[in-house]
């Protein structure tokens, strides 16, 4: 038992590790494949997120090759995200559902019929405990009745907890990377505009604030971004073609 717990802990540590350039789908894709390969009698697993009021499957894995399984799985994927099914309840209210026998459960007849047609007899739906504000849920299916007993349930719950953390982490990582890119772009823009101000200050003997006002007015008159105008002026200065660039943007003083 101790060895099994250690192996599971290693699995969870490995699957939770962020890799360079991971996005949400890639990170969660590792979870669903590991769940299918770890949880006894689990044949399919997926993770679904709620975007606005629309459910979207972002990661899905089946133990059978896609070209064999997909014809039966496609209708189930469409049915899973319908607002009248158990998965939508899990996403909306954070309510887990363990359906021991799809043929005997009459709460969601269309969902049950579609799952049975795909070859399944039991299902387990668990919310992912993410804290980013995005609702997400695990869905597991098995061809056997009552496949997800207490032991399997506990294992899946551990995966769900780690998947929620990974979901948060990759979201935060991507948000942080986006913020860094925005700051880098802003810094480059500020540098270029400062260089263009310097060009005008040297050319006309004006102050920094006056040079900035001149650049803003010229960018509005020419209907181009301030950074693009600044780029053009700096490049023209470097190429010895400043006078032509000034005339182009109406900044030549007639000298």
Q: Are residues 119 and 197 in the same domain?
A: no
Is there a domain that residue 220 lies in?
Answer: yes
- Indicate if 78 and 182 belong to the same structural domain: no
Residue 135 shares a structural domain with residue 225: no
Say whether pLDDT at 240 is over 50: yes
Question: Domain for residue 99, yes or no?
Answer: yes
pLDDT at res. 129: 67
In this prediction, residue 64 carries a pLDDT of 74
Q: What is the pTM of this model?
A: 0.56
- Give the full edge-to-edge strand order of the sheet including 44-51: 54-62, 44-51, 135-142, 122-127, 97-99
Q: Which of 175, 192, 220 delimits the end of a domain? A: 175
Query: In terms of domains, do 209 and 150 share one?
Result: no
Angle at 124 between CA 73 and CA 8, to 5 degrees: 105
The CA distance from 26 to 55, in Å, is 18
Higher pLDDT, 6 or 208: 208
Q: 239 lies in which domain range? A: 177-248
More confident residue, 109 or 181: 109
Cα distance between residue 194 and residue 226, in whole Å:
11
- Would the pLDDT of 191 be above 50? yes
The reply to whether 169 and 205 lie within a common domain is no
* Residues 82-130 pLDDT 10s: 988 999 888 888 888 889 999 999 999 999 999 999 999 999 898 876 5
Q: Is residue 39 located within the same domain as residue 86?
A: yes
Does position 46 have pLDDT exceeding 80, yes or no?
yes
**Per-residue pLDDT tens over the stretch 146-166:** 988 765 555 566 666 555 555
Do 222 and 137 sit in the same domain of this protein? no
Predicted pLDDT at 20: 46
The answer to whether residues 127 and 206 belong to one domain is no
| 205: CATH | 1.10.10.10
For the chain, the domain total comes to: 2
| Domain containing residue 116: CATH number | 3.30.450.40
Q: Say whether pLDDT at 21 is over 80.
A: no
Residue given tokens 């606005």 in the structure block: 52
Same domain, 111 and 208: no
pLDDT of residue 54: 84
Same domain assignment for residues 31 and 66: yes
Residue 58 contacts residue 24 (beta carbons within 8 Å)? yes
- Of 175, 201, 224, the one marking the end of a domain is 175
Whether the per-residue pLDDT at 188 is higher than 80: the answer is no
């Amino acid at each position: 038992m101790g060895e099994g717990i250690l192996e599971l802990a290693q699995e969870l540590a490995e699957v939770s590790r962020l890799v360079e350039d991971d996005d949400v789908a890639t990170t969660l894709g590792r979870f669903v494949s590991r769940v299918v390969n770890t949880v006894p009698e689990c044949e399919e697993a997926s993770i679904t997120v709620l975007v606005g009021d629309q459910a979207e499957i972002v990661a899905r894995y089946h133990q059978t090759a896609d070209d064999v399984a997909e014809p039966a799985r496609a209708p189930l994927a469409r049915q899973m995200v319908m607002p009248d099914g158990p998965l939508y309840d899990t996403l909306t209210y954070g309510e887990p559902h363990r359906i021991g026998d799809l043929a005997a459960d009459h709460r969601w007849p269309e969902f049950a019929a579609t799952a049975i047609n795909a070859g399944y007899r039991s299902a387990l739906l668990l919310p992912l405990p993410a804290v980013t504000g995005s609702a997400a849920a695990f869905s597991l299916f098995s061809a056997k009745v009552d496949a997800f007993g207490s032991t399997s349930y506990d294992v899946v719950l551990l995966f769900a907890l780690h998947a929620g953390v990974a979901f948060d982490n990759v979201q935060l990582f991507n948000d942080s990377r986006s913020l860094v890119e925005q700051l880098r772009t802003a810094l480059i823009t500020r540098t270029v505009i400062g260089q263009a101000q310097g060009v005008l200050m040297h050319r006309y003997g004006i102050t920094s604030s006056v040079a900035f006002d001149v650049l803003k007015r010229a960018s509005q008159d020419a209907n181009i971004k301030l950074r693009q105008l600044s780029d053009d002026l700096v490049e023209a200065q470097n190429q010895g073609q400043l006078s032509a660039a000034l005339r182009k943007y109406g900044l030549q003083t007639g000298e």
